Amino acid sequence: MSRTNRGSCSWGSGRPSSREGDEDGVNHEGREEHEVKKFVFFAAFVAFVAFVVSWFSWSWLVAAQTEGRINIPYSDAKPILDALRPELIPDALRSLTPMQREASWPAWVSTRDTEIRERLAAGDEDSVITFLLFGVTFTSQPRYSFATAVATREPDAVVADPVVQARIKDLVAAVASPGANERLQFARRVIERHGIDFTTDMGRQGAREVLRAALTRMLADYDAYFRDSAPGATLFRNRGLSSDTSIYAAFAIDAALKDAAAMGVLKQGSVRRVAVIGPGLDFTDKQEGYDFYPVQTIQPFAVTDSLRARNLAAPRDFQLMTYDLNPRVNDHIAAARQRAARGAGYTIQLPRDPAQQWERDLLGYWTRVGGKIGATVPPVAPPPAAGRVDVRAVRIRPDVVQMITPRDLDIILQRPEPLPDSDRFDLVIATNILIYYDVFEQSLALANIARMLHSEGVLLTNNPLFELPAIPVHQIGETKAIYTDGGSDWIAWYQRE
């Protein structure tokens, strides 16, 4: 600063000091120009260093998330291909001989991984549409409710609903100037993938058309899914991969952990290493969720809390890994870890609609979740447009946040490697994930999970899986979690031999 200030004074005078100019004959205007050049060079150097540091930090973050994984080898896939009926095998592999399958396997895995990851785009659109229907921060319109809508309404009729049309208009207006709102920023990025320019009237009109088309597509997809004759366990195998989540899955896992502990399947203090596959982000849950609090992840913290509450977590060296192929999820958790390293906690908001008539056990879970890993804090106040909603908030301690490590992984086709016996998992959790895949891909995932679990390790999932002789994992129990009068789920317990 001192050099800049001296230069400013000299520039302001328009001439050098007469004494120095007379004594040494130096061209001070040239000296001042030299000083300016040095300052500009220094500023550019500082900016370059900042860019390099930022780039390396980002690169390190990406590398840290993707390190230590391999694609499933053909030796693990062959027994699955041999055991399944031909109609359950992908078209590209079905007619090949065993030798041809083995030769084409690496290329098939690489291509299929790309195709799976491309499904994230449709899932992102689905998230934006639920935001459109249920969000309360960008509009004064009432939340759209499928529960109160006429059951026979076709997609075109839903899109034409005056409330929905008004919401589309309001969302586009908000997305055009998103400010610091993370959901609006995300919605803008998703809509801009269609070549939309929000700075023009034509672009904003185009954005409204994009939302109408996406809503029509999503509703038609749902109609097709529920008319599908395939097993319910593979219901969403052709749907976009969405990251949305809610407290329901956390409660169901807590209930299963309680039962597994009571049966002696999991013993006190025995769970040291946990993997959560597809931890999800609470963007705007499809069960008519909310958007008036920051985007958050729930399950990694809820699982940690349940394991401590049930006295199952190891007293030392407890670690939880999250595995997801969505960079938004991985980056969100990584950023939380970075803030925790600086002493910041992580606050989760837990909304509850009293009109939904939760079952007693779910309500009890809502009142206590987080108590073993954090402290209750004042929640975000719901806006009037949200209607009657109760909210709890828990600030999770920084040391707990730092126990959670995100990794990029496509569990269908990849697994952590190297993974020595000492690092294998005592518990793997996969809720609302495997339903997005067919029987063959679910079997590949189970083979990968089997490699991740140590002997007698447990997988908890709300998706029933085919048990094949070559995969040393078998169902040993199940838990029914009841949410409301009409809503429940089953958590299956699988154990590795």
Per-residue pLDDT of the chain (497 residues; tens, 9 = 90+): 333 333 333 333 333 333 333 333 334 444 444 444 444 444 444 445 444 444 444 444 444 455 699 999 999 999 999 999 999 999 999 999 999 999 999 999 999 999 999 999 999 999 999 999 999 999 999 988 765 554 445 788 889 999 999 999 999 999 999 999 999 999 999 999 999 999 999 999 999 999 999 999 988 887 777 676 566 677 788 888 988 888 999 999 999 999 999 999 999 999 999 999 999 999 886 666 799 999 999 999 999 999 999 999 999 999 999 999 999 999 999 999 999 999 999 999 999 999 889 999 999 999 999 999 999 999 999 999 888 999 999 999 999 999 999 999 999 999 999 999 999 999 999 999 999 999 999 999 999 999 999 999 999 999 999 999 999 999 999 999 999 998 999 999 999 99
Residues 71, 414 contacting (CB under 8 angstroms):
yes
Q: How far apart are CA 235 and CA 122, in angstroms?
A: 16
pLDDT at res. 285: 66
pLDDT at res. 123: 93
Conformation bin of residue 88: beta by default, left when phi > 0, alpha when psi is -120 to 50: alpha
CA 433 to the chain's CA centroid: 11
- Measured CA to CA in angstroms, residue 101 lies from 89, 106, 107, 466 at distances of 11, 9, 10, 22
Domain 247-345+354-373+400-496 classified CATH 3.40.50.150? yes
pTM of the predicted model, to two decimals?
0.84
Residues 234, 435 contacting (CB under 8 angstroms):
yes
The one-letter amino acid at 88:
L
Q: In residues, how long is the chain?
A: 497
List the structure tokens of 209.
């058309």
Residues 65, 334 contacting (CB under 8 angstroms):
yes
CA 423 to the chain's CA centroid: 24
SS3 490: strand
